[in-house]
DNA sequence: GCAAATCCGACCTCTTTGCTTGGATTTAAT
DNA sequence: ATTAAATCCAAGCAAAGAGGTCGGATTTGC
């Protein structure tokens, strides 16, 4: 049970962009520095996120990335699915075709129902958390620590 | 997000032993055949399960494996933890020491709280499902299909 | 024109996964 | 006592995935 660095870094990057939503384009180098991520690698993740319509980019000098829509409209699940594929503990719980590849009993397979329950629990969590939620949580945390300046 | 074949096969093997609980030792070859698993590989998984006290073995001819205790006293989480280690989507959500390795903010890290919520959701599911639950579910399924003989 | 940035694809090393193989040992049945 | 069935144990191994790096092409504000 693990989320690879693709998903982890992607969520951190989008989180950072959410903290700066409405402030224009942020160069990736700065995102990487703030979140302590390898920027060359992070660059690879932005392509899929852009093609999925989660972020927008501005090319050239003074360019960078920004969220394509309001943080309240982007969930952690959106980002993870783009970077990691379908969120499922095993292929056969994928929902559609994989069931019969896994067990001769197909969808009715008793063990498979375990994987389905895990899958559903995880999806419910990640789809219920928006980056607006995380932004508020982070602002709250910072204010408790007396950090007024966010950048 | 994936459970490897170690965990998957292990759960299937213990499930098969749960279906035969009280019937003495079952040779691994038969478990593998019934669950359609590679038996040489499955053999590797039984050592850890035995050392963890989940199954017992009988050596020699007519030997095999059996559950070490009642199916109601063994959860899916027990098996998965033995074969896959701690159930956590990322190392830094491991609970104890990993937090500070992940983010300078340690336990208070906002993004980390996402991983913790995923971790808790998964653990809650796997710890709530016993092999007695699965055994009952399987018997129910078989009776709906008119299959009276279980072996 | 220069410098800062995104884009794109190839490459590369290390680890993990998912097995297989070969034997050593135990034990019931003959 | 032999044999055959089974668990035990350790090593090896090919393929895939993880986690990057690197080099260059392109765009664009100054």
How many CB atoms within 10 Å of residue B59? 8
A106-136 as b/e: b if 16+ CB within 10 A: eeebbbbbbbbbbbbbbbebbeebbbbbbbe
- Dump pLDDT digits (tens) for B14-56: 999 999 999 999 999 999 999 999 999 999 999 999 999 999 9
Protein CB footprint (7 Å) on chain D nucleotides: 4-11, 17-23, 26-30
Domain-located, residue B127: yes
Cβ of B4 near strand D (distance < 7 A): no
DSSP for B70-122, written as a single string: -GGG-BHHHHHHHHH-S--SSGGGSSSSTHHHH-TTGGG-HHHHHHHHHHHHH
Q: How many domains does chain A have?
A: 1
- Dump pLDDT digits (tens) for B81-133: 999 999 999 988 875 555 666 776 778 899 999 999 999 999 999 999 999 99
Provide the domain limits for residue B131. Answer: 5-145
- Dump pLDDT digits (tens) for A87-109: 999 987 875 555 666 776 778 89
Q: How distant is C1' of D6 from CA of B134, in Å?
A: 28
Domain-located, residue B66: yes
Tokens (6 digits) for A68: 């394509």
d(CA B113, CA B123): 15
Domain-located, residue B151: no
Domain-located, residue B120: yes
Domain of A120: which CATH number?
1.10.10.10
Tell me the sheet residues that pair with A58: A64
Give yes or no for residue A129 having a pLDDT over 70. Answer: yes
Tokens (6 digits) for A47: 């392509």
Give yes or no for residue B1 having a pLDDT over 90. Answer: no
Of residues A1 and A20, more confidence is placed in: A20
Domain-located, residue B56: yes
Domain-located, residue B150: no
Domain-located, residue B51: yes
Domain-located, residue A151: no
- Dump pLDDT digits (tens) for A18-67: 999 999 999 999 999 999 999 999 999 999 999 999 999 999 999 999 99
pLDDT for residue A145: 83
Give yes or no for residue B73 having a pLDDT over 80. Answer: yes
> Whose CA is nearest the C1' atom of nucleotide C6?
A59
d(CA A101, CA A117): 18
Closest nt by CA–C1' to A56: C6
Which of A1, A12, A103 is the closest to B89 by Cβ? A1
Q: What is the mean pLDDT of chain A?
A: 92
Handedness of CA A105, A112, A7, A51 (dihedral sign): positive
How distant is the Cα of B117 from the closest Cα of chain A, in angstroms?
Answer: 7
d(CA B142, CA A109): 11
Give yes or no for residue B135 having a pLDDT over 80. Answer: yes
Contact A114 B137 (CB under 8 A): no
Asked if A15 reaches chain B (Cβ–Cβ under 8 Å), the answer is yes
Q: Which one of B11, B87, B104, B110 would you mutate to disrupt binding with A, by most A Cβ within 10 Å of its Cβ?
A: B110
Which of A84, A108, A141 is the closest to B1 by Cβ? A84
């Amino acid at each position: 049970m693990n989320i690879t660095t693709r998903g982890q870094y992607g969520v951190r990057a989008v989180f950072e962009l959410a903290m700066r939503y409405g402030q224009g384009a942020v160069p990736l180098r700065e995102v990487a520095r703030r979140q302590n991520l390898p920027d060359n690698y992070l660059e690879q993740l932005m392509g899929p996120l852009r093609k999925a319509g989660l972020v927008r980019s501005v090319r050239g000098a003074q360019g960078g990335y920004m969220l394509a829509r309001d943080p309240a409209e982007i969930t952690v699940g959106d980002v993870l699915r783009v970077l990691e594929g379908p969120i499922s503990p095993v292929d056969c719980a994928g929902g559609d075709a994989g069931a019969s590849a896994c067990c001769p009993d197909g969808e009715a397979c008793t063990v498979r129902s375990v994987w389905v329950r895990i899958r559903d629990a995880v999806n419910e969590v990640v789809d219920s958390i928006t980056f607006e939620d995380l932004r508020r949580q982070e602002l709250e945390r910072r204010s408790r620590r007396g950090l007024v300046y966010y950048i």
